[in-house]
Amino acid sequence: MSREDDDGLLAGIDASAMMGHLEELARWTKHAGSDEEKNSLDYIKATLESYGYRTSLIRHPAFISLPVDARIVIDGMTIACITHSHARSTPEGGLTGRLVHVGRGSASDFARDDISGAIVLVEGLVSSGVTSRASAAGAIAQIHLSPHEQPHEGGVSPVWGSPSIDDLQLMPSTAVLSIGRTAGRSLVDAALAGSIDVTVHATVDTGWRLIPLLEAHMPTVKDICEEPFVLLSGHHDTWHRGVMDNGSANALMLEAARILAQVRGQWKRALRLCFWSGHSHGRYAGSTWYADNRFEEMERRCIANVNLDSVGGVGATMLENTRSDLSTGSLADDAILEITGQRRRGLPIQRNCDMSFWGVGIPAMFGLLSEQAPENIDFDIPCGWWWHTPDDLIDKISPDFMARDTKIVARVLWRLLAEERLPLRFKGYLDIIGRTLTALTPAHRQDLDLEPVLLKLSALESLLLEFESSTETGSAHDDTAIKLSRVFTNLEKVGGDRFSHGLVQAAPVVQDEASTWPVLGPFHLANMTPSEEKDWYFILQSAYRSRNRINAALAEAITILNSSRT
């Protein structure tokens, strides 16, 4: 694969065609499981079939929650607002309680007052964390003050995907509403002025329903059984028309699929596209279902999840914050630098945007690709103030930025599909483990008996250098790279059972890659704790288990690489 091939591929990107797709997709409000969502997916399905892809429209059960209506009544005056996915509906007649202002809704904010039986007023967007804290403190309802004139839609379930029988006790137990900034300030003033009662009404349609999942696949020209594939994915369901979130990503996926199909004869690996439902209204229910029900196939065959969400927005000039897993980071670095001249900061990828496949062991890229310029970002909304509001319309899309983002994605996909050797790199994992362990004090290292781990790190580094510098190509090399990605993705991303999905979590405040590894947490805690502290031996027990897990993963990687040499 030459640079001329690469440049020729990108030259064929058609921004006007993508805008045409967006105009079509903008016709529908795509609530999960709705007829309008099905109409929109039918359009995408027919378009992909015209490009030569084999498609399948799957319908599967998901726990979906659709806000219906809400209102707030104070001193006889009714104030418009919205309610949220997976919040509780109020009984007939609503819920009445004293209004208590709790600032941003931190743990300390809730600890300041007795809010049992109260309706709390929170400044900021809804989140599962605030909802859980409010429930634990005894609030009967929450009202969130939007940072903008429009309240932002969203979900408040802490459970990733559809809940299992084990998760039901974690689901929200309060009504949750959001109100626009100006109307909300009057509530703040009323709450701060003294004790005042407020009544909230909310209706949320929550339950199991069938939702669609569109799968499209194109094998290589050899069409070999069980050949590896790259996954290009993005959600399809929307809040309101959702032209940027996530119509823009859907249009980009169609254009990338079109231009890549034209050079299929040069592919070494297959391409699969998945359009998820249940992202907005089911907490990533579609991609979670796919991970649960295609686990074995994905583990055997899927190389990487190139996921897209909210691309091409007007003002979205920032690509330095684009995220990627370590094994795919150099792919993102090279594409972004080549297309935009910007250097990626190397931030760790976050658990959002349908990152549902880490338990399977599949590395991921992107999610949010382009963000608003720093001067345009307010209240931690990098997608634009119109995100999750009725104002997310086609005027929020830049054709030039759509073309730019498509070039980045197509270049990454082209390399994953067509390079002789899978361009995955693993040394970064060893560097982070090594730095974390050697940062421990000598006494801590002695208590933990880290010598076996450090010896394996050294041996694995030599084997990786040999593997990544070899000239071997073909299925044997790909198979080894895929197996290594399973080991390292699980080690970095999964804190417990790899067959469960855990909870929705807020993005970490510290943007250091090592700080996001659950398995390294006990070592960071140990490093901050003198061995004389009363909790030291409790911390040590956790560190023992993390050490053993790392040791086992390194041993597995060594076995994989040694087997590839024979």
pLDDT at 107 over 80: yes
Do 431 and 559 fall within a single domain? yes
The pTM score is 0.95
Q: Are 284 and 242 in contact (CB under 8 A)?
A: no
- Provide the CATH number for the domain around residue 398: 3.40.630.10
Q: 110 is in which domain, residue-wise?
A: 66-204
Mean residue pLDDT across the chain = 93
Mean pLDDT is lowest, of 3-12, 345-354, 428-437, 554-563, for: 3-12
Q: What is the pLDDT of residues 18-35, one digit of tens each?
A: 999 999 999 999 999 999
Pairing of strands 141-145, 175-179: parallel
Do 409 and 291 fall within a single domain? yes
pLDDT at 193 over 60: yes
Q: What is the pLDDT of residues 66-88, one digit of tens each?
A: 999 999 999 889 999 999 999 99
Do 20 and 144 fall within a single domain? no
Do 197 and 226 fall within a single domain? no
Do 231 and 282 fall within a single domain? yes
Do 230 and 330 fall within a single domain? yes
* DSSP 8-state symbol, 371: B
Residue 508's SS3 state is coil
Could you count the other beta carbons within 10 Å of the beta carbon of residue 315?
17
Residue 251: enclosing H or E segment and its boundaries?
helix 249-261
Q: Are 195 and 538 in contact (CB under 8 A)?
A: no
Average pLDDT estimate for 79-98? 97
Print burial letters for 218-252: b (CB count within 10 Å at least 16), e (below 16): bbbeeeeeebbbbbbbbbbbbbbbbbbbbbbbbbb
- Of the residues 390, 418, 446, which one is the last residue of a structural domain? 418
Do 40 and 76 fall within a single domain? no
If one counts the domains in the chain, the total is: 3
